[in-house]
Amino acid sequence: MKYDFSTVIERKGSGDLMHEALLPRWGRDDLQPMWVADMDFPVLPDIIAAMRKRLEHPILGYTVEPADYRPAIIDWVRAHHQWEIRPEWISFIPGIVKGIGIICNLFCKPDEKVIVMPPVYHPFFLVPRANQREVVWNPLKVRKEALDKAHTEAGDYYEMDFEGLKRVCDDKCRVLILCNPHNPGGICWDRETLVRLADFCYDHHLIVVSDEIHCDMALFGHKHIPFASVSGRAAEISITMQAPTKTFNIAGIVSSHAIVPNPDLRKRFFGWLKANELDEAHIFAHIATVTAYRKGEEWRRQMLEAVESNVCFVEDFCREHMPQIRPIRPEASFLVWLNCRDLHLDHKQLLSLFIDKAHLALNDGEMFGPGGEGFMRLNIGSPKVYIQSGLEKLAMALQTH
């Protein structure tokens, strides 16, 4: 079946965050939204059909975990990531950011620390801070050879700073939050890097929380490697969190799961979830997850082709019409990290260019922490004509800049 990734669907009025938050966030609602990390593509029809079928039953009472929930996850992870996981390692969680908050409270005391590697998804540091945990920065390093390249892949641009990690890690550090694949950088971390990170964290008694929500969206032949799969040490110290929600564009159906091989970590984390009834999914979470993993592979394949085409379009457009903006090619996901530093604008001027002149709503790089200055994050999970419209507005704004 050929799925449609080219028709623009009007989302205004559906209650979507991308449009409804424009006014409270930017003070205006005339901006073209290209910010929130969900896609403008219609959901896999099988998911809609499965939920519609359930709604045909007139009673929406309490529900139990279906028999195929864990097998569907296990089979998907085995087929796509060559990682053998067990049913008892899996638990539903009510969202990955919520999972991070729970873990910070469970495994890190108020006077202890959480390590994050910016520029990175901002809840990684906002959530620990909101829970009175100290955040320790260990920024990613920009490879020297990447600085002079007009266009580069994410993995050729950034690397982990292990010397920096040695400097910032002390006996108060308890948790390291890993973004794998990395958001906003778009990096599929390689095995060597993950093994090295696992060894460091094992030796320094750190729990690694691996957010792998973008794991099923590797692009251009790249491969996602689950952190816990790289070694026995990695499995021993890790809590992996995954979800079908990014890949299958069902973020509004909160359905995430944790994978914890270590029985001691599992007892503590899953025990807390169960004690507070946070391991119980709502009625559509299981339905959407099982349907996505059992019936969604062809939709996923075509969606990734559309995203790859959009990445190439952004690169070509920038090269031809605005070479001062250098997109870093993502190795995963539908988010493009735009290097705008050659514009030589300060933060306020850069925001003014995008918002006041181009009338575009993107996530600005500074919100992702140190190292994000001079960058903007562009969502390209949209029909190409929509992306073209946004880029043309930006090119026009640059002409008058």
User: What CATH number corresponds to the domain at position 190?
Assistant: 3.40.640.10
Give domain status of residue 53, yes or no.
no
Give domain status of residue 192, yes or no.
yes
Q: Are residues 98 and 199 in the same domain?
A: yes
What was the pLDDT predicted at 401?
75
Query: What does the alpha-carbon distance between residue 273 and residue 253 come to, in Å, rounded to a whole number?
Result: 19
Q: If we measure between CA atoms, which residue out of 129, 131, 154 comes closest to residue 143?
A: 154
For residue 242, the 8-state DSSP code is E
Residue 86, Cβ neighbours under 10 Å: how many?
10
Q: How far apart are the first and last CA of the chain?
A: 46
How would you classify the pairing of strands 375-379 and 335-339? antiparallel
Q: What is the CA 30 to chain-centroid distance, rounded?
A: 27
Q: Are residues 32 and 111 in the same domain?
A: no
Query: What does the alpha-carbon distance between residue 399 and residue 384 come to, in Å, rounded to a whole number?
Result: 22
Task: Assess contact for 339 and 326: CB atoms under 8 A.
Answer: yes
Q: Are residues 190 and 339 in the same domain?
A: no
**Domain boundary, last residue among 273, 294, 315:** 294
What was the pLDDT predicted at 397?
98
Q: Are residues 108 and 163 in the same domain?
A: yes
Q: Are residues 131 and 247 in the same domain?
A: yes
| Boundaries of domain holding 102 | 68-294
Q: Are residues 162 and 289 in the same domain?
A: yes
Give domain status of residue 8, yes or no.
no
**Would you say the pTM of this structure is higher than 0.75?**
yes
Q: Are residues 87 and 39 in the same domain?
A: no
CB burial of residue 348 (10 Å; 0-12, 13-18, 19+): exposed
Q: Are residues 260 and 387 in the same domain?
A: no
**Domain boundary, last residue among 294, 325, 352:** 294
Q: Are residues 197 and 283 in the same domain?
A: yes
Give domain status of residue 54, yes or no.
no
Dihedrals φ, ψ of 179, to 5°? -105, 110
Q: Are residues 260 and 236 in the same domain?
A: yes
Give domain status of residue 56, yes or no.
no
For residue 56, the 8-state DSSP code is T
How would you classify the pairing of strands 113-116 and 134-137? parallel
DSSP string, 169-234: --TTEEEEEEESS-TTT-----HHHHHHHHHHHHHTTPEEEEE-TTTT-B-TT-----GGGS-HHH
User: What CATH number corresponds to the domain at position 378?
Assistant: 3.90.1150.10
What was the pLDDT predicted at 150?
67
Give domain status of residue 2, yes or no.
no
Q: Are residues 281 and 376 in the same domain?
A: no
Q: Name the domain count of the chain.
A: 2
Give domain status of residue 3, yes or no.
no
Q: Are residues 256 and 325 in the same domain?
A: no
- Does a cis peptide bond (omega within 30 degrees of 0) precede residue 119? yes
Structure tokens at 67: 């028999």
Burial 94-130 (b: 16+ CB within 10 A, else e): bbbbbbbbbbbbbbbeeebbbbbbbbbbbbbbbbbee
Average pLDDT per 10 consecutive residues for the chain, totaling 401 residues: 97 94 95 98 98 98 96 99 99 98 98 98 98 98 82 90 98 99 98 99 99 99 99 99 99 97 99 98 97 99 99 98 97 98 97 98 98 98 99 97 75
Give domain status of residue 63, yes or no.
no
